[in-house]
A and B are shown apart, each in its own frame.
Chain A
């Protein structure tokens, strides 16, 4: 009996070890033959290549590690923007699919079926090479709302120039803390006295009033730097000042958001449909108004169904952002696994670091997810 349990495991482990041993053995011999040494020392060497778009200060004189950070930050930036837009769009479309209005739900269904069935890479190419190329040149661009300029070279938006920014941030943090405290207090009041405090309006008031106070008292001030057209040569114009978003970033976030929103919409729809009709009827029959039914009965149950698959979609979006390499947006894959690998030739080290980065991102999110799932799971006896 014991032997029966051990032998299959032993064989499996042996096979795995053999395969890995074979690979490492070959890798060693190959590297010796080609005169490559294995090591991560190159990370501190000077990278001597430039990156077009970076959130932190970077040029060729910085190290490869800094290049890695630039790529990672760009990946995170595009993921966060994509996630925000995809969530907003996905929730709207998901709710619209359940609308009793025939036109609206057909429109939403059309959107989902259309964008879901076209490869993401094709969509990225479409936006980048076809749609955004049809935009006007900088000198011909019309201002939207007077301050935004959408041109073939990217989107130019006014930059915020803050004074005493930290006071403003402190005020927001203080508002959030105050809201949390009031919520806890309100719950206590409801449990002990049965009274309901208007928590929502208090929260809204706080989140507006405290930052406003910081403007009036704390010396915070905000001004805008509006992009200005500047002539470089007779036919070459650029915008100066303000914030510029490169077309790669726009195409990437646009396609990621449009594509992922279809999946999020389906999650939202499944979640809301998953709450039984009886639940809503029961809630209405004990005298809750429609808003309360939604807030206290439907949403908590729907969220339990919606959140796990939606997190998976967020993860997918983050991983899909690696397609940026195809349109030369300097993300982790392009900067590190592309340019840096080309320059150093350290294939094994660089590919493994890149993979490990994505892997640790995924695993940390899935650990968080499992914890959350356990917390909200219905506890049955």
Chain B
């Protein structure tokens, strides 16, 4: 056995260092663990200041001893490489391990152990833990806002139907693949619009919805017999014409008659709220802001100076102001700009405001993609005799949009995260409902639970979206 130099652990006395180091390290972790989980202090006999830092000192010495390069043990090498490269890293690693151990018991006890889940009144929430009963009691309000309980199946049905219709792309056979773009760009938003604005709001306008569905079904059935080259025009114009014909000419009298019957109860948009409103607003703003943004991105790169300047003005204006002032504008200033008898629902106004705002950001993202394309692509398309629109639709935009998937996903994420701001126009989505519920005299003092609940929901939505966009990016990545 050779001489042992404790300042310089080496391979010769590998086992001695290994056992000693692991022992010290384990002791330090056990000390902290007992301390935080069982409030047991095994170094309590020492002076308090010393017993506080003793785990760090022990752990540090332990990690110092096991820091042996090329030890021959795979696991040890992994540990050294990952958390123990030098003294500084060792201390940081120890601190993080200790923080995790220290933080676990209070978080666990607040979330689960001491929390109350049962019951439906405030009385069960006496402990120090979270009061999930509060969330349980208010769950419907957080999800649906002031929407009447008896009618909430309409929201559920709409969302389920839209989700099913939206997932068509995954199940489409090769034969129908080529219609998917048309479906997602024209038909799907149209059906979604019908569902949300007529089915969820109900009332006499519900019949509009029925006519819309009838028109869509009839036109899709006939659509199979239309020759391919007319299909595009057909699917844009025929459903709308059919719908108008159904509404104003064929069933007009019936509408008046049926309106007296109870079709679906009318629920005004002021009563909408909760998480479902978050979804509705995000969904529509997402659909609207994309084409507007694309138009302004093209406008900003246009050869016509006047169009270019107008686009630049539009984009820079919306990008320069905070969303909250835009919503202020839509709430107090916009009504002044409209004819007096002309009334736009405040939900629609909010959707228009957010769409225009986000469209400016989408435009800048898409412009980035357009600029990143090499000139050769434009020149090649032109040399094939393509015009402006053909060139952009078939050559430029598919490549540019592929490039900017992460940017667009970020903009959409920002959009979802911006929806709580609609409290400015008096609409209450989930965060607004939380603030309302927290002022309820029966349920004072549970703000924390509410915010944690909403934070978890938003986190899951946003994280899922960002992961999805990452997958999309990987899927469409093409080597250049």
Contacts and interface: CB of A to CB of B under 8 A. Distances in A.
Given A26-B338, A103-B97, A114 B320 contact: no
B178 to A, nearest CB: 31
Contact of B324 (A16, A26, A27, A333): A333
Nearest to B314: A16
B316 interface: yes
B93 interface: yes
Contacts of A24: 337
Nearest to A9: B306
Given A104-B92, A323-B324, A27 B83 contact: no
B56 to A, nearest CB: 15
Interface in A237-271: none
Contacts of B310: 12-13, 16
Interface string B325-343: 1001100110111111000
A122 B431 contact: yes
A8 B451 contact: no
A160 B257 CA distance: 78
Interface in B55-113: 81-83, 85, 89, 92-93, 96-97
Interface in B3-41: none
A114 B421 CA distance: 20
Contact of A117 (B85, B93, B463): B463
B392 interface: no
Nearest to B335: A30
The listed residue with most A CB atoms (<10 A of its CB), out of B338, B339, B420, is B420
B79 to A, nearest CB: 9
B317 A319 contact: no
B328 A333 contact: yes
B393 interface: no
B431 A103 contact: no
Nearest to B464: A117
A12 B307 contact: yes
Given A26-B339, A30-B340, A120-B417, A359 B85 contact: no
A29 B323 CA distance: 28
A121 B316 contact: no
A135 interface: no
B149 to A, nearest CB: 26
B304 interface: yes
Interface stretch (A56-64, A125-133, A197-205, A276-284): A125-133
B366 to A, nearest CB: 17
A5 interface: yes
A9 B303 CA distance: 10
A27 B307 contact: no
B342 to A, nearest CB: 8
A131 B421 CA distance: 21
Contact of A9 (B82, B304, B337): B304
A363 interface: yes
Counting chain B residues whose Cβ lies within 8 A of the other chain, the interface size class is 35 or more
Contact of A348 (B319, B333, B421, B454): B333
B459 interface: yes
Nearest to B430: A122
A311 interface: no
A45 B428 CA distance: 35
A252 B24 CA distance: 44
A101 B340 contact: no
A40 interface: no
Contacts of B323: 319
A358 interface: yes
A95 interface: no
Contacts of A362: 316, 319-321
Contact of A118 (B322, B338, B448, B455): B455
Given A100-B85, A101-B85, A118-B459, A319 B321 contact: yes
A347 interface: yes
Interface in B440-480: 447-448, 451-452, 454-455, 458-459, 462-463, 466
A358 B304 contact: no
Contacts of A118: 417, 455, 458-459, 462
23 contacts: A8-B307, A9-B307, A12-B307, A24-B337, A26-B338, A26-B339, A29-B340, A30-B340, A33-B340, A100-B85, A117-B463, A120-B417, A121-B420, A122-B451, A122-B458, A133-B447, A323-B421, A337-B325, A348-B333, A348-B336, A351-B333, A359-B321, A363-B320
Given A129-B447, A366-B316, 9 more contacts: A13-B310, A26-B340, A30-B340, A104-B93, A125-B435, A322-B325, A347-B336, A354-B325, A358-B322
Q: 10 tightest CB-CB pairs across the interface, nearest first?
A: A362-B320, A117-B462, A102-B82, A319-B322, A359-B320, A23-B337, A119-B417, A9-B306, A130-B448, A322-B322
